[in-house]
């Protein structure tokens, strides 16, 4: 069996590219389209109506998912504000309860003291 003959010299990349046809010949440029080549008006109207119906159907199918996602995001966004509001309201309620309790105890003590003085 004989060994394959090795080339005497290997061509460089620039030599290979120089042998290629010019770019204009490799990729033909298409002429601009005339208005006559555009789809007729009724066909365009039908296509636009179909797209509109498809978009409506997609929105209808996604609406429940959008609602769930919106509610989740809204809860996440409002949670810190609701927590602050709850804390403020709870503090105010505690202060009001403490004030009411002090007033009730004060009245009860005054009434008891009045009974002991009168007795």
CA distance 29 to 86: 70
Please answer whether residues 47 and 39 qualify as being in contact, where contact means their C-beta atoms are separated by less than 8 angstroms: yes
Span 11-16, average pLDDT: 62
Nearest to 70 by CA among 61, 78, 82: 78
pTM over 0.75: no
**Is residue 38 scored above 60 in pLDDT?**
no
Q: Please say whether the dihedral angle defined by the alpha carbons of residues 72, 74, 76 and 82, taken in this order, is positive or negative.
A: negative
Phi, psi of 65, deg, nearest 5: -65, -40
The pLDDT-based confidence of 117 (bands split at 50, 70, 90) is: confident
Secondary structure element (H or E) that encloses residue 61, with its range: helix 41-118
Tokens encoding 62:
């996604």
User: Domain residue spans in the chain?
Assistant: 40-118
């Amino acid at each position: 069996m004989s060994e394959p003959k090795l080339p005497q010299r290997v061509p460089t990349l620039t030599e290979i590219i120089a042998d290629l046809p010019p770019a204009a010949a490799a990729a033909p440029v298409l002429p601009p389209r005339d208005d006559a080549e555009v789809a007729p008006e009724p066909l365009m109207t039908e296509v636009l109506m179909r797209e509109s119906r498809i978009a409506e159907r997609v929105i209808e199918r996604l609406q429940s998912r959008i609602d769930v996602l919106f509610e989740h995001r809204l809860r996440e966004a409002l949670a810190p504000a609701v927590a602050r509001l709850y804390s403020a309201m709870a503090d105010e309620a505690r202060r009001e309860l403490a004030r009411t309790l002090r007033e009730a105890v004060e009245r009860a003590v005054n009434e008891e003291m009045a009974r002991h003085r009168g007795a």
